[in-house]
Amino acid sequence: MVTSNDASDFNRQQEHPGTTLASLPPAPSSSTSSSSSMSTAGPTTMPQGPEATSSSHNTLPESTGETPCDVKTAKRTAKQPVVATRQQRPKLAGFEFYEKILGSPKYVVAPMVDASELAWRLLSRRHGAQLCYSPMFHSSCFTKDPKYRKDSLQTCPEDRPLIIQFCGNDPKVLLEAGLLAQDHCDAIDINLGCPQAIAKRGHYGAFLQDEWDLLKKIVSTLHQNLSVPVTCKVRIFEDMAKTIRYAKMLESAGCQMLVVHGRTRDQKGPLTGVADWKYVKVLKEIMKIPVLSNGNIMSVEDVHRCIEETGVNGVMTAEGNLFNPFLFEGINPTSWTVALEYLDIVEKYPAPISYIRGHLFKILHHLMNLKSNGPLREQMATSHSVADFRAIVKQLEAKYEPFHEGLQRWTGEETNTEQPPESEPDQPTYNLALPPWLCQPYIRAPPEVHRQKMVDSARAAADPNREKRIFLDSDGNEISRKKMKKMRRVERRPNRAGLLPSDPKREPSRRFDDICKNTKLDCTNPMGLKCDHQLCRVCCRVRCYHEDRDCAGHKLFIKTRRDKAKRLTEAEKLEQQQQQAKAVDGGKDDDNAAAKDGQEPKQLMEIES
């Protein structure tokens, strides 16, 4: 859906499909506006573009009829209000905003860090998504880093309706971020649901849900000063009554749409479990704003069941969309079809390689888990271009399309037999509904299984008679599990530390064939390639310490620092000796002066007599 106020943005971007709105010249704004649409008095005009930092809050002269393009802004003082409004359209609220601006969306793609970028949003919109969220952006980075802000605001005319989500705990910083982003979206969302450890360290997301005064201030500040509505995405409390009070508090502070994830803050990772729709149903019945549900969505049937059981206005999905972006259409396409379409969009709207690789691993998840596809999985992990990814997907298509078309029979492991064997075929290893080459949801094990596994692991670790797993290097020497993981990681990703293999200037890739030459301890650690003494770092540091040496390869400059310390000590001693000598000379001068002072009175007395 495209709203009328964004028509100018669309016209500006029709000839620049891969650019951000911020990189284009700002469009003139209308000089008239409805006073009823302003959330606060004294409106100002926001310059369009992410480069608008502190100057984006400047007020324009009211006596002139010039547009923002014709007026030079002055530096804003600390006493000037931070207020901005859109003159292109009134600011709607609640259901009016949900229906007229968003278009009453039922199918919603969730905000996903490093995943819901422009290319993925466009793919989802092509296949049923009616509303998309941006990835979660950190409000502090968004306001301080122009490059981060420009990359975050990548969009195009087809990317509407769009809600941009921010995280943070400072009302002023969140407001500044919202002012910079409000001209590029239809609403600003506050992340109050992230349960991850990074959110705990950064003090945002679900770890703010106990600080109601702060949340009320954040929501009300954005509601009163932004020209677009403010929405919130939250998690529930175990106490139903507290959850109700929490939601009502956000609504009274100015939240215009609430997304409820029916899991608590502690339900994450292997303890995720099932979202509780009872909380969502109760909140929908008492709230006077639109309510969306998040959680337990793995197919379009789950969407319809959720709406029927809870009565919510729409349903949001994250993980279900990542594994099957065609979910809202109710189909399970071949994984290579989805992957190739996504790569086509990426070539038009570029995305970071890490984002592309992450999406492909989820789309091809069930195929890549097959042992026979291990080499392709390793190849994808080390690929760094769209062409390489496309070649891998093409290999999978050539390998599994005959099974999909029925030309060959799939019995769990691939076979080149054109016709099924005469004897009774083996039972297939995939479930009855979907073979592994079709996009399908990822099913997590119940939390009870994980808890039992942890108990069994603890019991096995406490058993003194348990068999320990032995790890060996290429020469058969026993090494630790940590060293083995490091060896495999480096061998799997040799391009991280240097140039690509095709570059003639590339240094030889790091290998662990050479072992530390410390024969006294029979050290089995890998030898440093640049070590002056052909030792590992630990042994090299010990030798340099005891034998007073340096190692440029390991950047150990013990001898140099000791020599420097000796020179400084000698200089200090010399300086002390000089000061002592000056003190002795000064004492002699004082004695001579005192003697002269004693002789002068005697001479005066003799003269007087």
Q: Is-contact 134 152, C-beta < 8 A?
A: yes
Give the pTM.
0.65
Vertex 362 angle, CA 357 and 363, to 5°: 95
Provide mean pLDDT across the span 154-175.
Answer: 95
Q: Would you call 185 a catalytic residue per the annotation?
A: no
Would you say residue 66 has pLDDT above 60? no
Q: What is the mean pLDDT of the chain?
A: 80
Kindly indicate the confidence band of residue 602, based on its pLDDT and cuts at 50, 70 and 90.
low
pLDDT at 584: 81
Tell me what the mean pLDDT of segment 210-233 comes to.
96
Examine the pLDDT at 9 and tell me if it is beyond 70: no
Lowest mean pLDDT among 345-349, 575-579, 592-596: 592-596
Instruction: Give the range among 47-61, 168-182, 281-295 with minimum mean pLDDT.
Output: 47-61
Catalytic residue among 156, 194, 255, 306: 194
What pLDDT score does 30 carry?
A: 34
Burial of 231 from C-beta contacts in 10 A (0-12 / 13-18 / 19+): buried
CB atoms closer than 10 angstroms to residue 492: 11
Q: Is residue 64 over pLDDT 50?
A: no
Q: What is the pLDDT of residues 361-418, one digit of tens each?
A: 999 999 999 989 999 999 999 899 999 999 999 999 999 999 999 898 888 754 333 4
Q: Quick check: 75 pLDDT over 80?
A: no
Confidence of residue 211 (pLDDT cuts 50, 70, 90): very high
Question: Residue 11 pLDDT more than 70?
Answer: no
Share of the chain above pLDDT 90, in %: 52
Q: What is the mean pLDDT of residues 258-279?
A: 93
Which of the four pLDDT bands, split at 50, 70 and 90, describes residue 600? low
pLDDT score, position 170 = 95
Q: What is the mean pLDDT of residues 280-304?
A: 95
Tokens standing for residue 376: 């392709």
Q: What is the pLDDT of residue 476?
A: 83
pLDDT above 70: residue 56: no
Report pLDDT for 15.
42
Q: What is the pLDDT of residue 599?
A: 64
Listed ranges 169-173, 565-569, 589-593; the one with the highest mean pLDDT: 169-173
CA dihedral (168, 173, 179, 181) positive or negative: negative
Among 162, 152, 92, residue whose Cα is nearest residue 130: 162
> For residue 58, what pLDDT is reported?
35
DSSP per-residue letters across 347-413? HHS---HHHHHHHHHHHTHHHHTSGGGHHHHHHHHH--SHHHHHHHHHHHHHHHHHHHHTSS--SSS
Q: How confident is the model at residue 528 (pLDDT cuts 50, 70, 90)?
A: confident
Query: Does the pLDDT at position 115 exceed 70?
Result: yes
Write out 387-402 in H/E/C secondary structure.
Answer: HHHHHHHHHHHHHHHH
**Exposed, middle or buried by CB within 10 Å (0-12, 13-18, 19+), for 232?**
buried
Higher pLDDT, 60 or 263: 263
Mean pLDDT confidence for 289-308: 95
Can you spell out the DSSP letters for 276-296?
-HHHHHHHHHH-SS-EEEES-
Output the pLDDT for position 603: 60
Query: pLDDT digits over 482-506, tens only?
Result: 888 887 777 766 555 444 444 455 5
Identify the structural domains of the chain with CATH numbers, from first to last: 94-329 (3.20.20.70), 348-405 (no CATH), 514-567 (no CATH)
Alpha-carbon gap, residue 204 to 234, rounded angstroms: 12
Is residue 212 within 8 Å of 246, Cβ to Cβ? yes
Return the higher-pLDDT residue of 29 and 335. 335
Question: How much is the pLDDT for 605?
Answer: 63
Residue 420 has pLDDT above 80, yes or no: no
Task: Give the per-residue pLDDT at 116.
Answer: 95
pLDDT score for 349? 95
442 against 123, higher pLDDT = 123
